[in-house]
Amino acid sequence: MTHTLRSAAWFAGDDKDAFIHRSWMKNAGLPDDSFDGRPIIGICNTFSEFTPCNGHFRELIEHIKRGVLDAGGVPLEFPVFSCGESNLRPTAMLFRNLASMDVEEAIRGNPMDGVVLMAGCDKTTPSLLMGASSCDLPSIVISGGPMLNGKFRGQDIGSGTDVWRFSEEVRAGTMSRADFMAAESAMSRSPGHCMTMGTASTMASMVEALGVALPGNAAYPAVDARRARLARLTGRRIVAMVREDLRLSKILTRAAFANAIRVNGAIGGSTNAVVHLLAIAGRIGTALSLEDWDRWGQDVPTLLNLMPSGRYLMEDFCYAGGLPALMKEIQGLLDLDALTVTGTTVRDNIATAENFNTDVIRPLSAPLTAQGGIAVLRGNLAPDGAIIKPSAASPALLRHRGRAVVFDTIEDYKRRIDDPLLDIDEHCVMVLRNCGPKGYPGMAEVGNMALPRKLLERGVRDMVRLSDARMSGTAFGTVVLHAAPEAAVGGPLALVQDGDEIELDVAARRLELRVSESELARRRSLWTAPEPAMKGGYQALYVERTLQADRGADLDFLVGCRGHAVPRESH
């Protein structure tokens, strides 16, 4: 190691300030040589009992600490805000940026030389990586891992995906309420995050594809001993990264983001990866746009036969070879020279990977979907873009014209969707607005609107749905999301009326409202902005300063890398 450790600004020397810093740290039993040139490793822990995905982190962190000690570092744990997906209201996405601020300031303000980011639940992964990117210290991610497969009456069931499916079957009258309730305790059988290719599994895959986590990070189940071993190796590796000065800015390049976007297409990854990767790129200072998502991802075949696009679950993906095996299948589409936290390249990381189940990880010659990825749509309904996940949609609906049925809020939707008098059929386009970054606030996962009961009872299982909201990565259907600009700021979605004709053409990347410009101008002159849900506090700050979905929905003043210069002395 040729560079001076950052922590030396706190602990080196024999003056009053160094005395204060060392003396206080010694009350935890640290010996003198803890401050004699050993890298200080911060372990950023998103444990919370309100975040079930990360509830096992107390045990996992012990393996990380042992790894840091193995390599001659000093591990010091610190907590940050844990934005758990399953419980936090109005939506965890509202607090992703808040959590990232917590991470950034904790890293910069404390005497650490490198950081291990303990992520798992949907928003904890991007929030930690966003905050760390704004500091640009040596950083490595360890995900908590997926739950074991759900098991219900002899069949595998997937978190989220089968919730939506079972719920619609109950409403259609084809599944009893008692069976629905019985499935509840069979779905989440172990610690860990969703075992479908929801947002948590997607983001665990994204950090591995970006090169900021060790190979194998995405798929080892939370309770698998290999997850604990990976945690220990992660602890060892961050110490080496500090000595090599291997910072995030050396890894999170355009090549890394291109690799991640292509991997997202191959795994049938969550649409939420779009806003998260855009936000991460904005923090590290790497140019990334919706056009990049479309260009790099549109011709990538979906190979992973995993819910919600396919039939298997993350445990099966692990046994089939995990993300290294999948990346090897698409190696011709990847930049194999991209640097990773291993200190070597993607090529080196996947060189020995094998695919042990070609029905779980399909070969390129027999993909699940020939063209996967995320399609970016534009038109007068979304001049700044909207997205759709073709691998989870009905092929027959990817080109469609239909009559709009408009819901002004999610409460309006819930009030009217099962009304037998609602004027709707399977050819209509369901439109939900005022659910974007500013409008909800926080851009909640409500875009995958359940279909009207009267259509479910007739056997209809998919319709075109359009909103400025997000949807769970575990969800499925022909759902157009993230329409920008959103309705709450006067975007075109605010002007749609019942009966308007909407045209969707995914192949042509087009989303159009068949209404004249003069009529839209008339409607715009009558539009008034909705009142914000809360006055004051963080929510007011969020609504005032959040960017639109096409820019990652980050707060405008957080974009950019502010570095890890040591702040002024505190005493």
529-548 pLDDT per residue, tens:
998 888 899 999 999 999 99
What is the C-alpha R_g of the chain?
A: 24
Q: Identify whether residues 162 and 239 lie together within a single domain.
A: no
Asked whether residue 30 is assigned to any structural domain, the reply reads no
* pLDDT score for 318: 98
- Please tell me whether residue 319 adopts helix, strand or coil conformation: helix
CA–CA separation, 487 vs 495, rounded Å? Answer: 8
Identify how many contiguous H helices and E strands the chain contains and give both numbers.
Answer: 19, 14
Place of tokens 């779905």: 187
Q: Percent of the chain scored above 70 by pLDDT?
A: 100
Q: Identify whether residues 168 and 257 lie together within a single domain.
A: no
Asked whether residue 461 is assigned to any structural domain, the reply reads yes
Asked whether residue 8 is assigned to any structural domain, the reply reads no
**Strands annotated E in 98-138:** 114-119
Using DSSP bridges, classify how beta strands 429-432 and 464-467 pair: parallel, antiparallel or unpaired: parallel
Q: Identify whether residues 283 and 215 lie together within a single domain.
A: yes
Q: Identify whether residues 335 and 464 lie together within a single domain.
A: no
- Give 87-121 pLDDT, tens digit per residue: 999 999 999 999 999 999 999 999 999 999 999 99
Q: Identify whether residues 112 and 225 lie together within a single domain.
A: yes
DSSP of 66-83:
HHHHHTT-EEEEEE----
CATH number at residue 435: 3.50.30.80
Structure tokens, 259: 């690799």
CA–CA separation, 229 vs 231, rounded Å? Answer: 5
Q: Using N-to-C axis directions, what is the helix angle for 290-297 and 272-284, rounded to 10°?
A: 120
- Please tell me whether residue 43 adopts helix, strand or coil conformation: strand
Q: 362: which residues sit within 8 A by CB, 6+ positions away? A: 303, 304, 305, 329, 368
Asked whether residue 519 is assigned to any structural domain, the reply reads yes
Asked whether residue 507 is assigned to any structural domain, the reply reads yes
* pLDDT score for 321: 98
Neighbours of 511 (CB within 10 A): 25
Q: Identify whether residues 498 and 518 lie together within a single domain.
A: yes
* pLDDT score for 532: 86
CA–CA separation, 110 vs 566, rounded Å? Answer: 9
Residue 385 near residue 482 (C-beta atoms within 8 A): yes
Tell me the three-class secondary structure of 510-545, residue by residue: EEEECCCHHHHHHHHHHCCCCCCCCCCHHHHHHHHH
* Whole-structure pTM value: 0.97
Biggest alpha carbon–alpha carbon distance for the chain:
80
Q: Identify whether residues 317 and 345 lie together within a single domain.
A: yes
Asked whether residue 102 is assigned to any structural domain, the reply reads yes
Tell me the one-letter amino acid at 401: R
Q: Give the distance, in angstroms, between the CA of residue 465 and the centroid of all CA atoms in the same chain.
A: 21
Q: Identify whether residues 247 and 306 lie together within a single domain.
A: yes
* pLDDT score for 428: 98
- Please tell me whether residue 337 adopts helix, strand or coil conformation: coil
Q: Identify whether residues 159 and 193 lie together within a single domain.
A: no
Place of tokens 């990767």: 277
Q: Bridge partners of 312? A: 306
- Please tell me whether residue 37 adopts helix, strand or coil conformation: coil
Q: Identify whether residues 88 and 197 lie together within a single domain.
A: yes
What H or E segment, with its residue span, contains residue 295?
helix 290-297
* pLDDT score for 477: 95
How does DSSP classify residue 568? P
**How many Å from the N-terminal Cα to the C-terminal Cα in the chain?**
30
Q: Identify whether residues 415 and 335 lie together within a single domain.
A: no
Structure tokens, 63: 């393996």
- C-alpha distances in Å from residue 535, one per residue of 73, 90, 99, 353: 46, 15, 21, 53
Residue 141 near residue 207 (C-beta atoms within 8 A): yes
- C-alpha distances in Å from residue 332, one per residue of 85, 322, 346, 353, 357: 35, 18, 12, 15, 20
Q: Using N-to-C axis directions, what is the helix angle for 254-267 and 272-284, rounded to 10°?
A: 170
Structure tokens, 73: 């570092």
- The range of the structural domain enclosing residue 164 comes to 151-187
CATH number at residue 113: 3.40.50.2300
Asked whether residue 544 is assigned to any structural domain, the reply reads yes
Residue 6 near residue 566 (C-beta atoms within 8 A): yes
Q: Tens place of pLDDT for every residue, the chain, 571 residues?
A: 668 999 999 999 999 999 999 999 999 999 999 999 999 999 999 999 999 999 999 999 999 999 999 999 999 999 999 999 999 999 999 999 999 999 999 999 999 999 999 999 999 999 999 999 999 999 999 999 999 999 999 999 999 999 989 999 999 999 999 999 999 999 999 999 999 999 999 999 999 999 999 999 999 999 999 999 999 999 999 999 999 999 999 999 999 999 999 999 999 999 999 999 999 999 999 999 999 999 999 889 999 999 999 999 999 999 999 999 999 999 999 999 999 999 999 999 999 999 999 999 999 999 999 988 899 999 999 999 999 999 889 999 999 999 999 999 999 999 999 999 999 999 999 999 999 999 999 999 999 999 999 999 999 999 999 999 999 988 889 999 999 999 999 999 999 999 999 999 999 999 999 999 999 999 999 999 998 888 899 999 999 999 999 999 999 999 999 999 999 998 8
Residue 438 near residue 236 (C-beta atoms within 8 A): no
CA–CA separation, 271 vs 219, rounded Å? Answer: 19
What is the domain count for the chain? 3
Asked whether residue 358 is assigned to any structural domain, the reply reads no
Q: Identify whether residues 180 and 209 lie together within a single domain.
A: no
Cis peptide bond prior to 90, omega within 30° of 0: yes
